[in-house]
């Protein structure tokens, strides 16, 4: 069955349908669960009584809404499910008790892995409804995501952007809030902005978006200038990488940037006092396809010529 294509939206992809500000003092971190997340970064061991009661919760009673992380591949989920089968769950998920069951606070990949393993229950840190407000759950998921080692650069960059928008933070406030270096935050924001521009124009190009999701922040930042200069050429080059099944290395990106820059410089020198024309840079595969099409046309024209020669 063919996959139905649908347009992608940056906010939809990361559960940011409501980007209104949340009334919270980002310096004090007085929200209970945010405080736990900060403490977890500085300590690998915690007493379960300090973070909440851990219970085995039926997976069918846990509801996950407004999750900022949407890029879950079947392969990675299956790998996690297999690891849980072999070693057990190394870190419980967190849920909030409600009148209808439980709202997931963080740990969606772990929850999905348990469902893949057809488990009935999952260990979870249980918070009651008074300990955490419902509108803070997306923020906590984002904070938890930002400090996960297995999170891709793509997910991290977009999660950071959504967090910035939700809390209406300046760049300096964001740096202080997530406790990361200035250069780290700056590059992640550039990563998110660059990918967002691509998604706006290539929302139905699933293969291109998948490739971008696997590229590192340094690679995306390196491509930013070329995208601003000639977006079509960059897309064409990335398409050739998709066909070959390769994620471009940083060295390949730098070579491409230099080629693109050289091509534009040569064009500007050779077209002085002439009408401006756009230089189109094609990949090797595209050139070969063009040549093949021309050969077919030549073959067809030769047949036509012979047909008319016989009529003389």
Q: How many angstroms separate the CA atoms of 239 and 286, rounded? A: 10
Residues facing residue 132 across a β-bridge: none
Residue 235 in contact with residue 36, Cβ under 8 Å? no
In this structure, are strands 121-127 and 53-58 parallel, antiparallel, or unpaired?
antiparallel
| pLDDT category of residue 32 using cuts at 50, 70 and 90 | very low
pLDDT the model gives residue 87: 85
pLDDT per residue as tens digits for the range 246-270: 788 888 888 888 887 776 545 444 4
| pLDDT category of residue 48 using cuts at 50, 70 and 90 | very low
Q: How far is CA 296 from CA 5, 85, 306, 310, in A?
A: 32, 56, 16, 22
Closest CA to 121 of 139, 140, 101: 101
291 versus 61: which is more confidently predicted? 61
Q: How far is CA 224 from CA 190, 194, 256, 305, in A?
A: 8, 6, 12, 50
pLDDT per residue as tens digits for the range 212-247: 777 888 888 888 878 777 777 887 888 787 777 778
pLDDT per residue as tens digits for the range 285-307: 677 777 887 888 888 788 777 77
Residue environment code for 156-187, b if the CB has 16+ CB neighbours within 10 A, otherwise e: bbbbbbbbbbbbebeeeebbebbebeeeebeb
> How large is the average pLDDT for residues 46-50?
43
pTM given for the model: 0.47
């Amino acid at each position: 069955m063919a996959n139905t294509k649908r347009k992608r939206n940056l906010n939809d992809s990361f559960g940011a349908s409501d980007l209104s500000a949340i009334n919270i003092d980002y310096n004090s971190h007085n929200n209970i669960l945010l405080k736990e997340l900060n403490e977890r970064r500085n300590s690998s061991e915690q007493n379960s009584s300090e973070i909440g009661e851990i219970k085995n919760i039926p997976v069918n009673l846990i509801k996950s809404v407004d999750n900022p992380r949407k890029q879950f591949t079947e392969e990675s989920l299956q790998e996690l499910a297999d690891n849980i089968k072999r070693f057990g769950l190394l870190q419980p998920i967190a849920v909030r008790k409600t009148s209808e069951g439980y709202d997931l606070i963080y740990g969606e990949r772990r929850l999905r892995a348990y469902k893949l393993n057809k488990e009935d229950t999952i260990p979870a840190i249980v918070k009651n409804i008074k300990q955490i407000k419902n509108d803070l759950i997306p923020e906590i998921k984002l904070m938890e995501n930002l400090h996960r080692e297995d999170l891709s650069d793509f997910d991290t960059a977009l999660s950071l952007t959504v967090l910035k928008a939700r809390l209406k933070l300046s760049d300096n406030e964001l740096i202080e809030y997530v406790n990361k270096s200035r250069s780290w935050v700056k590059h992640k924001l550039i990563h998110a902005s660059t990918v967002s521009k691509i998604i706006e124009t290539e929302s139905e190009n699933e293969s291109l978006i998948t490739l971008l999701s696997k590229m590192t922040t340094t690679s995306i930042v390196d491509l930013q200038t070329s995208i601003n200069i000639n977006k079509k050429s960059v897309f064409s080059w990335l398409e050739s990488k998709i066909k070959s099944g390769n994620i471009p290395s940083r060295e390949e990106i730098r070579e491409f940037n230099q080629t693109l820059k050289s091509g534009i410089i040569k064009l500007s020198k050779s077209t002085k006092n002439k009408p401006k024309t756009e230089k189109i840079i094609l990949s090797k595969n595209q050139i070969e396809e063009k040549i093949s099409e021309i050969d077919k046309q030549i073959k067809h024209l030769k047949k036509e010529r012979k047909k008319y020669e016989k009529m003389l």
